[in-house]
Amino acid sequence: MIRLDAHQHFWQYSPTEYEWISDQMDALQRDFLPRDLQPLLTQNRLDGSIAVQARQNPDETRWLLDLAEQNKFIRGVVGWVDLCALSLHSELDLLAKRKKLVGVRHVLQDEPDDRFMLRPEFLRGISELAAFGLVYDLLLHPRHLPIAVQLVREFPQQVFVLDHLAKPPIASGQLEPWKHDLHELAQFPNVHCKLSGMVTEAKWMQWRPDEFTPYLDAVFEAFGASRLMIGSDWPVCTLSSSYSETLGIVLNYTAHLSADQRDEVLGGNCAKIYGISTP
């Protein structure tokens, strides 16, 4: 069965282009490129990865697609397009010719308006994606989950993937209302979830593996093994953990699953949801 890291990033660092990388994150203030990730994939017996946008610029999307064409292990790209633009259809028509474009994402978590995803022009943009076979990745904070429920309800034919479990407050150990709202979103069968981004929601470099168990319990209860996929969020994860340790949280948690279920979580679901061909 294929093994895939469902969520990682590349960038050529520039302080003006990556303003979200604060001084607290100075370890990320350098280039992270395919040559840096490939040895980590090999060491952890992974067949490839999904590269995800890190800035809202169409040039980055094209750059990521170029990297994917040059590096076989990059199995797909979740890029960025302006979903609110009137020219969206023609832009998607052009991008869809690039076979490794598998989805798009907008940084909803940073929008000043928590209800940005319900704006008519944004909804119009989401309505275009299914025709191009593109997944939409939801990048949210817990407070956005009830709003995401309203969004997803409008598009039963659109495939959605929730990034990073919606970033629950692991450092404080708080479960509610995140757990309730996560279950509400998971009621929609067209929504899937990435087991990623957890180590940076815990206390950086000070977490214990058992701190993640209540959150993993909740997400497996909500989605089941057939709608979950492992992801590293590399290189962001390195603020709080090594690449192997980050993956190890999910690998250890899933050790009790059946072989088929584990295969799904560790790559099969990612391949199916994003349309990645298996070896």
Q: What's 170's domain CATH number?
A: 3.20.20.140
pLDDT score recorded for residue 237: 98
Which residue, among 133, 131, 167, has the nearest Cα to 148 in the 3D structure? Answer: 167
Contacts 24+ apart (CB under 8 A), 71-74: 71/34, 71/38, 72/48, 73/34, 73/37, 73/38, 73/41, 73/47, 73/48, 73/49, 74/34, 74/48, 74/49, 74/50, 74/100
Tens-digit pLDDT string for the chain (279 aa):
999 999 999 999 999 999 899 999 999 999 999 999 999 999 999 999 999 999 999 999 999 999 999 999 999 999 999 999 999 999 999 999 999 999 999 999 999 999 999 999 999 999 999 999 999 999 999 999 999 999 999 999 999 999 999 999 999 999 999 999 999 999 999 999 999 999 999 999 999 999 999 999 999 999 999 999 999 999 999 999 999 999 999 999 999 999 999 999 999 999 999 999 876
In a domain, 188, yes or no: yes
Which pLDDT score, from 0 to 100, does residue 152 have? 98
Contacts of 91 by beta carbon, 8 Å cutoff, 6+ apart: 58, 81, 82, 85
Task: Report yes or no on 54 lying in a domain.
Answer: yes
Does residue 203 lie within any of the structural domains?
A: yes
Total number of domains in the chain: 1
- Residue 222 inside a domain? The answer is yes
Judge whether 68 lies within some domain: yes
Is 279 within the bounds of a domain? no
- pTM here? 0.97
For residue 206, give the DSSP letter: T
pLDDT at 279: 61
Q: How many residues does the chain have?
A: 279
Q: Is residue 21 included in any domain, yes or no?
A: yes
Q: Domain containing 231: what range?
A: 4-274
- The pLDDT value given to residue 5: 98
pLDDT of residue 278: 72
Instruction: Give domain status of residue 20, yes or no.
Output: yes
Choose among 77, 85, 75: nearest CA to 2.
75
Burial of 98 (0-12, 13-18, 19+ CB in 10 A): middle
